Chains A and B, each alone.
Chain A
């Protein structure tokens, strides 16, 4: 049974859409506003509850917002994404998100937050490029406990560290490959 051109196109579209979701998560973690914006169309809107507005405003909002809540480290893990095409250039996407955060509080406390939620996106292909046109975040659960993070003990002190800017090791790896 040979694969039709439509099936190949669908497969390619799915990969391109999933890449958008990954770029946004990576952009938030590395505080890279251009990378966040690259996941969205110019006129895209974002509704996270604590932020409602344009995607470009969100890209510059999220870093200071995290700072205001003591976030010293964030990891956005993108998991399954169910993509349902509405027409050739539009799809609805439901993607599962896991976020791991260390947040500093009063008196030197550090809280480990684990947050499960979903992005409900409308993605569109314009001029051949897929990007998010409308995003809503849904909170499903969260866990908040005193951090037991160990950054210097045991073997942890020997491990390379993620950074919240472009000095992160991933930028050297992807240099020239990512938008």
Chain B
């Protein structure tokens, strides 16, 4: 086995950097943390979500606005296939989103499974999303069966919340 070439190393670190961008996106939407968005999207980036298609300058009004109607979300990433070509890259990112929202007066657990189809660009040495589309593959909708104050869960004091109330921000330096 030969030594690792510079090209191979660059590919590995590029893919890792792009995966980090995808993780920051999840933090941005789950915490409704607009401070993370400049780390995620290039200034002229666009999204094609169906619920909102357009420049990410409208992301807070539209997508954050939509998420605000939900009680809580949890965007959990799975497979992340990323192909890099110089300063351009594409990615297919599997996402499993848990959504708690009131539908027709009933608190509902929605599991939404799909994929982000992404284009990324490296500009000034930094990878960010230039275009993100979402494709839905599966969903399941059931009456909420959440338990918060009983059994195994009752003593778990730390609960997920939106910025700046999530425990994540308390642990920041």
Physical interaction between A and B: yes
A residues touching B (Cβ–Cβ < 8 Å)?
Answer: 1-3, 7-8, 10-11, 14, 47-50, 69, 79-83, 86, 92, 94, 96, 98, 103, 113, 116-118, 120, 122, 136-145
**Contact A117 B12, beta carbon cutoff 8 Å:** no
Interface size of B by CB at 8 A reads 44
A8-B9, A11-B12 in contact; A141/B160 too (CB < 8 A)? yes
**Contact B156 A137, beta carbon cutoff 8 Å:** yes
B48 within 8 A of A: no
**Contact B9 A50, beta carbon cutoff 8 Å:** no
User: Interface residues of A: mostly helix, strand, loop or mixed?
Assistant: strand
- Measured CA separation A98–B77 after assembly (Å): 11
- Measured CA separation A179–B58 after assembly (Å): 49
Chain B residues with Cβ below 8 Å from A48 are 156
- Measured CA separation A96–B159 after assembly (Å): 13
In the complex, which of the residues A69, A122, A136 contacts B167, with contact meaning CB atoms closer than 8 Å?
Answer: A136
A69-B151, A140-B72 in contact; A3/B98 too (CB < 8 A)? no
B66 within 8 A of A: no
**Contact B171 A118, beta carbon cutoff 8 Å:** no
Count how many pairs of residues, one from A and one from B, have CB atoms less than 8 Å apart in the complex: 110
**Contact A79 B78, beta carbon cutoff 8 Å:** yes
**Contact B146 A143, beta carbon cutoff 8 Å:** yes
In the complex, which of the residues A79, A118, A142 contacts B153, with contact meaning CB atoms closer than 8 Å?
Answer: A142
Shortest Cβ gap from B101 to chain A (Å): 12
Among A8, A10, A11, A80, max chain B CB count under 10 A is at: A80
With CB as the reference atom, state the residue of chain B lying closest to A140.
B160
- Measured CA separation A94–B77 after assembly (Å): 13
**Contact A50 B20, beta carbon cutoff 8 Å:** no
Shortest Cβ gap from A93 to chain B (Å): 10
Chain B residues with Cβ below 8 Å from A122 are 171
**Contact A14 B167, beta carbon cutoff 8 Å:** no
Among A79, A118, A141, max chain B CB count under 10 A is at: A141
Q: Please provide the chain B residues from 2 to 43 with a CB less than 8 Å away from any CB of chain A in the complex.
A: 6, 9-10, 12-13, 16, 19-20, 22-24, 26-27, 30
